[in-house]
Structure 1
């Protein structure tokens, strides 16, 4: 569908895209999109894909749509919307403010506002550092009032985001009968990142248009719970505090059937952190199942709790550092390095440990052959045979962790992914975990 520009002023641009729906959507673009005010608008692509009628209002300045040109834009807008009984306003952040501020003028039947502002005038409400940066565009009287509100207003906000929550409550206080607040936990201000996509857009718009039996609050809640990026963030926050529950959820059949979960399975930082937390707290069964599932996903693209299938267990014993990433060895640099055995990057190969009570051999698989690591001439080098030279001393800790020491010193890891092999100490951050299915 072709998008037309019906008005192009100094501040405001009015776009229109004709569709085949019996309702129309009016969107307001968010801040930091001023450079694209003429080339696009909020919701353009998903509306086009779903065949919806849509008007997109954009601004060439971060002015929260406080412009004398809005009168002209709204007049032109009404020439189109008067033919529709269902008018939906939709916006995020600055755009959410605009969608509520002009909801009555537009004749909106319903509005979905994601993390809106009540005002950006410091005397009206608290501002964070980001909003304070736009104070030059604030105007007295810009706060949303009951006279601005038309139709039913739905405001999504993260209750843990203090400023957004205050602004949402201030808006709700203007028209409690018309404004419905609902939480979007864990998203911060960037709620839009968790509901984007044509399919999600379709679900939300059809609900607001009354075309489905599910109300918009439940629709958005379901989208949130099934969004890979949201779940990845949620699991990342819970893996240290509740590793057992996180692993059980991650490995459940119900979870593996959720759409768009690749982002979680490929979040290697979260996966290795969860493995480390499970091992430290003694959940060996769950740690083993998680490792196997990661192995299956890397090998076959499926993520199952296959702990009972002994045939697919890789015969490996890797090393997990204090910072929850795997110990590797760079053949090119002849040094230890950060490594991900499930998703290799660069030339670092995973280090495998063969251990006895007090000694260990470290090796890598080089072209299908076990090649051992040995301290020599101040460096860790490759040697072809398992000799006394390749022995590392194992110093065990009561937590189940170990230190690895050679004549050069103790192996340790830094948060930035670098590894050293010459520490004279045995500090907490130099502890290693043996990872074995």
Structure 2
């Protein structure tokens, strides 16, 4: 059971008894401010039987030095019961743990993506981040110095996250006792990636025993399947190596729900950039993705279209003869032919996916769409068809019990009661250039 053992205008501290032979001193991050009821790692510390002093900030204050001195004086009788003290924190809490390591005579300090300083006066060519939180009356002396550090130090962060890496390098310059542990492709999300009681205990144990190589192996094992790592891989890959990322990502969607979720929720600017990339639209993988026989082609089509706004892509209907379907204004009919043989007055049809139905629109406000054998009153500006699976990753399109069919002569009709070769279409996705 926890109890509050210290409180002032900036900080709140909890005490948790436990049978462990060391004391864990944990600092909360920006995500969890002091609430008078609990501290940041209370759940895993309680489950693991670890005695803990949990220090929480009442606002984004990066644990002011004078407040920390007062806190340490107030709880010294409790802290001095333990000769081994392990300090732990992430981000703002990582800064607090490192800054207080000498004050609290830490044996080991574990910091996840910590800041060296957010004081603009300490800034060089690299932005320090979090400028909106800087308060000169509290943080003027916040930069971590050599004399602030004590004991073995482990910093776990992503070397590819430019800002976090800058902060880690600044801290490393001030102590020879820092062990770097890399959490590649985690960005600033190292804390949620490594969350969980089992990971928490394993990290603390390996840091206490100074087993950096084993700790690196644990971090690698935990991060590889995690959502945030995959998210970073995909989003950074789409910027740096777009074709490779799309090729791998499109095939992974069918078997990995995390990839599916990430691709569906790409940032809007990145989504549009990818959809407008002509090299991506020409990828064999883009078509192969739809034709993969391991998963329903309709399901794959739905998933792939969910990646992009449908206004950012073109959906083409390809006949068994390799030609695409278009609208001829003069005859007001759907026809098909190779694109290089078309005359003027031809418009590509616009296709939209609605669940398992494919809607065919004709561009032009007054255009009328006529298909032979349609019943009276069925002609109009819009037609919708039910999609059914067909051999070799293709689909058959059905309306009122009749199948859409492409004749070798170049006409399109909707009169077949059964589907065979001429009724099997490929649905192809390409970028809609703006």
Aligned-residue Cα RMSD (Å) equals: 4.5
Q: Deviations over 1:114-136 (max 9, x none)?
A: 22222222222347484211222
**Cα distance in 2 for residues equivalent to 1:62 and 1:364:** 47
**Cα distance in 2 for residues equivalent to 1:243 and 1:169:** 30
**Cα distance in 2 for residues equivalent to 1:222 and 1:268:** 23
Mapping of residues 126-275 of structure 1, within 5 Å: 126=124, 128=127, 130-137=129-136, 138-175=138-175, 177-210=176-209, 215-238=214-237, 240-243=242-245, 246=248, 263-264=258-259, 266-269=261-264
Q: Describe the SS at the equivalent of 2:121.
A: coil
Q: Describe the SS at the equivalent of 1:80.
A: helix
**Cα distance in 2 for residues equivalent to 1:238 and 1:15:** 43
Q: Describe the SS at the equivalent of 1:147.
A: helix
**Cα distance in 1 for residues equivalent to 2:358 and 2:286:** 29
Q: Which has the higher contact order (CA 8 A, sep 6+)?
A: 2
1:107 equivalenced with 2:105 (yes/no) = yes
The answer to which of 127-136 and 84-93 deviates more is 127-136
The answer to which of 216-225 and 197-206 deviates more is 216-225
Mapping of residues 223-372 of structure 1, within 5 Å: 223-238=222-237, 240-243=242-245, 246=248, 263-264=258-259, 266-269=261-264, 280-283=282-285, 287=289, 291=292, 295=295, 318=301, 324-325=307-308, 355-357=319-321, 358=323
**Cα distance in 2 for residues equivalent to 1:233 and 1:27:** 28
Deviation at 1:84, TM superposition (A): 2.8
Aligned length: 348
Indicate conservation of the 8 Å contact 1:363/1:371, yes or no: yes
**Cα distance in 2 for residues equivalent to 1:196 and 1:202:** 10
The answer to which of 371-380 and 145-154 deviates more is 371-380
**Cα distance in 2 for residues equivalent to 1:85 and 1:16:** 17
Deviation at 1:182, TM superposition (A): 3.4
Q: Describe the SS at the equivalent of 1:188.
A: coil
Deviation at 1:354, TM superposition (A): 7.8
Partner residue of 1:119?
117
Q: CA 1:236–1:66 in structure 2 vs 1: closer, same or farther (change >3 Å)?
A: closer
Indicate conservation of the 8 Å contact 1:248/1:286, yes or no: no
Q: Deviations over 1:413-436 (max 9, x none)?
A: 8xxxxxxxxxxxxx547xxxxxxx
**Cα distance in 2 for residues equivalent to 1:166 and 1:152:** 20
Q: CA 1:241–1:58 in structure 2 vs 1: closer, same or farther (change >3 Å)?
A: same
Partner residue of 2:29?
30
Indicate conservation of the 8 Å contact 1:5/1:14, yes or no: yes
Q: Describe the SS at the equivalent of 1:103.
A: coil
Say which one has the larger Rg: 2
Indicate conservation of the 8 Å contact 2:290/2:300, yes or no: no
Gaps of 5+ in 2: 326-333, 335-350, 362-368, 370-378, 386-398, 405-411, 416-425
Deviation at 1:113, TM superposition (A): 0.9
Q: CA 1:76–1:225 in structure 2 vs 1: closer, same or farther (change >3 Å)?
A: farther
